[in-house]
Chain A
Amino acid sequence: GQQVMQIPQYQHVQEGEDFTTYCNSSTTLSNIQWYKQRPGGHPVFLIQLVKSGEVKKQKRLTFQFGEAKKNSSLHITATQTTDVGTYFCAARGSGAGSYQLTFGKGTKLSVIP
């Protein structure tokens, strides 16, 4: 089945520092989604990327989809304590029968005030 590698597993940053999490696949993806899960909460959809090389921004968050559609990144500029949580990528393959989303293992972000 679809394999998605997400790194790093943990990241501790000082408030105000930047943060990036990466998601990589060995196969071409049709699209990729990003979710955020606050401590004790449930995953909440952030964004979906579909096009090769696509870049989308949401305030301090920047999402990128690689040119080859095999990797993606989420970058947070000037982290705040409200950014604490686990960020997951969820990838959908491009082959037949690959409808289902495969989640990365997540990056847990801690922000030190």
Chain B
Amino acid sequence: DADVTQTPRNRITKTGKRIMLECSQTKGHDRMYWYRQDPGLGLRLIYYSFDVKDINKGEISDGYSVSRQAQAKFSLSLESAIPNQTALYFCATSGKGLTGELFFGEGSRLTVL
């Protein structure tokens, strides 16, 4: 089983709908992240959390919210989805320290019509 699991893996929805992407991890890491990937734009940070009580905005947080329900769970919500939020979303985790590598989930492909 994957150490970082994302659900759903694929989702098609309509403009204005509320969408939640979920992430769970078995690595025991405190730090969790949500990234968005668009063709030619690399990976951009949406939100990150260093522990259950710590939530921080990333580079492109507008239109998104997150919830850290437990150390192992970090969910990303789109309150009212719009077409330019169509993208591939990755959850990632890392251990403590400034030099921690990121461990990515397999991605959630979201299409907003």
Interface set of A (CB-CB < 8 Å, partner B): 1, 6, 9, 30-31, 33, 35, 41-45, 48, 50, 88, 90, 92, 99-101, 103-106
Contact = CB atoms under 8 A, between A and B. Distances in A.
Given A100-B45, A100-B48, A100-B58, A43 B102 contact: yes
B99 interface: yes
Interface of B: 35, 40-45, 48, 58-59, 90, 98-99, 101-107
Contacts of B40: 9, 105
Given A30-B98, A43-B90, A103 B44 contact: yes
B45 to A, nearest CB: 6
Nearest to A41: B106
6 contacts: A42-B90, A42-B104, A42-B105, A43-B102, A45-B103, A100-B58
A99 B98 contact: yes
Q: Which 6 A/B pairs are nearest by Cβ-Cβ distance?
A: A105-B42, A45-B101, A42-B104, A103-B43, A103-B42, A43-B104
A43 B42 CA distance: 11
Contacts of A43: 43, 90, 102, 104
